Structure 1
């Protein structure tokens, strides 16, 4: 996985966004609907949401990189890598699609899918073990982005993310290997939280509260 390619793409599209304002227009068009689902400041609501949305996109390579490093240190990278590869491939598909890349709105659904995919990995792991794999709570951030995206399109992305994780964890032999089962059984929750807490600074950049608790 090469997160630098993702960062380069985001940087390039940011320059185009400064000229086109496509993401700004999307938020302006959706702002009234969004106000019904989340609480925004009375002043500069659109600007606040634009900054949040841009940070949400920026967060993707940092998040994937942190997850890769943490999983390597914990010795479970082979279990996490397939999902990181899917998130990366989908994000970079913006480079190969016929649709012109001229604003950050095109990357918003890519960022949403990446975050939802990892959130679903967490959910599936919770079902299997009774605890989360990644002690990071992106739920409310994802709900905000869901409200910005077209409702039906966001729902489609949710279904794809859910089915992708479910099918992979059912069909791939790696998730039935003895080593994975041992990790589930023997995982030291406090140590795993300590490893992840190194990336707690991500929360200050995104403005999202990341929860690191022994219950994770």
Structure 2
């Protein structure tokens, strides 16, 4: 892992260590979970623990996923530096001298920004490549984290994502760069467990009221 992404990893490691020592984020969820949108379905037993584990996994993959997207873009001759530098800057602003005061909650917005940016770049480049650059499906996970952050902050981060994507203006790829990107990204598709659907693995589902009503309609038990 390059120095850029090692710095992000160190920041994440400090936040996870702080949570393991103090459980501050998990305790805060007892109030937060009451306000989650009703479409988010959580396990009935110890929902705060499930959400905490989900958030840790959501955050921990960021350095490796971002670095791989960076490398794939480089293979295609695309400039990933503006995105890398801004996300690195957002993580580096977390103070190192007060690790217990800056746990999971303090880097969740940075994590959301990183995941939303990766999600959008995947969508932008998929038509050019005919396939997603990263074999990830973080839509439900991002929606859950959006609820944890609150609509106002999440909306601000979505706006920042839009600014990042304006900087990231891929030109039409020539055949050589396109082939290079596709070959590079194939390295990551056959590694089991590298690209989890965090929400599904943690038994967190998104169910709209209409879908729930339809499910009950076709359930023999009803």
- The TM-score with structure 1 as length reference comes to 0.74
| Contact preservation (8 Å) 2:62, 2:115 | yes
The number of equivalent residue pairs is 199
Specify the structure having the higher radius of gyration (Cα).
Answer: 2
Runs of 4+ in 1 over 6 A off after TM superposition: 127-130
- Aligned counterpart for 1:196 among listed residues 181, 188, 200: 188
Q: What is the match of residue 106 of structure 2?
A: 106
Paired position in structure 1 for 2:140: 140
Structure scoring higher RCO (CA < 8 A, sep ≥ 6) equals: 2
Q: Which has the higher helix share?
A: 1
Query: Where do 5+ consecutive residues of structure 1 fail to align?
Result: 210-216
Contact 1:122/1:133, CA 8 A, preserved across alignment: yes
Change (3 A) 1:198 1:131: closer
The corresponding residue for 1:212 is none
CA distance in structure 2 between the partners assigned to 1:54 and 1:112 by the alignment: 12
Once the two structures are TM-superposed, the CA of residue 152 in structure 1 deviates from its matched residue by: 0.9
Shift of 1:24: 1.4
Q: 1: CA distance between counterparts of 2:193 and 2:124?
A: 26
Structure 1 equivalent of residue 120 of structure 2:
120
- The aligned counterpart of 2:12 is 10
SS of residue paired to 1:134? coil
Which residue does the alignment assign to 2:79? 79
Q: Does the CA-based 8 Å contact 1:16-1:103 persist in structure 2?
A: yes
Which whole-Å deviations, capped at 9, do the CAs of 1:86-131 have from their partners, x for residues lacking one? 22222222239x9x94321001111111111111222333466775
Distance 1:147 1:58 in 2: 19
Choose which of 37, 40, 43 in structure 2 pairs with 1:41. Answer: 43
Find the residue that maps to 1:36 and give its secondary structure: coil
